[in-house]
Amino acid sequence: MEVNTLFSLQNKVILVTGSSGGLGSAIVSAMQAHGAKVIASDLNNHNKPQSGVDFIPCDLSRNEDIDQLVERAKALHGRIDVLVSNAGIQGPAGPIGGATDDDWDAVMSINLKSALRLCSALLPDMAERGQGSVILMSSIAGVRGNKAIGLYGLSKAGLAQLARNLAVEWGPKGIRVNCISPGLIRTPLATELLENAPFMERRLSLTPLRRVGEPEEIAGVAVMLASKAGGFISGQNIVVDGGTTISDGS
């Protein structure tokens, strides 16, 4: 294997959900830059991706929308080689006991159940070709306790376990399934936190690199997992947080 092709995605067809957000748009750009044919999907087309990227709107809370997304995506290029399940919602803030049944249904449906439904629809075709890669976007909220976004954390922890389960189930068919768990990343959704000086002082003091992450740093990990460079990685939850979760605060 030539080193200069390790990260090549030439001729790969990649489906990215949650494509309009900060992380999603960075992943779409990075995949395209490495040669992939990218199909982007989000709730609407208000922030359609750049030229050369196909876009399919989808409401991931609706099973029929997910099924239609898969059908339309496969029709574009005949197959999907890589799935990046990036879409998600935070849900309510506050004690987890205060979450309503509707909160549970919304967060688990969009963050966890939709990922499984997409995988269930796409993995059999990947298995027939003997190869494929699935990248589920989790969070460090899924690897530590949370007093404010506990429901979100539960859903993200579920994604990490889903990756392990699917990696074991589909690995013999040549399919790799992994999670990425970002820490605090400079995206529009993080603006409120980034502008909160007391929070940032505390957070950065607990982060060995003493800075927030950039969307491209998450996208780079996704490219690795989609390419030959990640060919022997499966069932893993890769934490990309500048060291926040391993710090003793010193």
Contact status, residue 137 vs residue 86, Cβ threshold 8 Å = yes
Q: Which of 29, 18, 31 is nearest to 222 (CA)?
A: 31
The catalytic site residues sit at 152
To which residue do tokens 């890669």 refer? 133
35 DSSP 8-state letter: T
Q: What share of the chain is helix, strand, coil (3-state, %, to 5)?
A: 50, 15, 35
The Cα–Cα gap between 108 and 129 comes to 31
For residues 233 and 6, what is the distance between their CA atoms, to the nearest angstrom? 14
